[in-house]
Amino acid sequence: MSLACDIPAVIHTDGMYEVTEDLDLLHAKSGRRTLIRKGFRTDLASVPRFLSWLTPIAGVHNIAAIRHDRNCVEQADAYREGRAPDITSVETDGMFLDDLLELGVPLYRARAYWVGVRFGAAKNKARRADWWSTFPELLLWTLLLLPVVPAGLLVWLTLTLGKFISWAVRPQELTSRAEFMHDAFTARRTP
């Protein structure tokens, strides 16, 4: 299967996505296949809240995030079992970047995701091997993307402050709206 934007998945109330049919994905550049079984659960992209305007959790990149998460699970399983993983962290993150670009994700956004997963690999014992081999490239892209972080923090702070001010000025209206949404949601789910 080539990469496509639409994925067979459902979203659960805990925010996790579950694949609803087997996926056999071919990585064009390496020829490596990734089998993702029906029932595989993922959070898609683990993005800090203040950067979600730049790198959204869900979107055109979904299938790339699912493959990446599946490969990370393989690395974690291998680490727990004391064996070499079928795919390294560097390969996994490189495939993720390739997939993002193939799906049409803009270069700056694809690199922002890649920077995030490489820094995530440094914190994860199962994914840390060979981390330093990508450090020069990681440092370069981190420096290039660094101006975006203050802007992201400013956007997040502004939105958070706006929500707080709205709540402080009209707490009853917001509470009523939340109760209405809760009632409407539970009414739809009740047979």
pLDDT digits (tens, 9 = 90+) for 18-67: 999 999 988 888 889 999 999 999 888 777 666 666 667 777 888 899 99
- Look at residues 13, 80, 15 and name the one whose alpha carbon lies nearest to residue 46: 15
pTM above 0.85? no
Cβ neighbour number for residue 47 with a 10 Å cutoff: 18
Angle at 142 between CA 127 and CA 75, to 5 degrees: 10
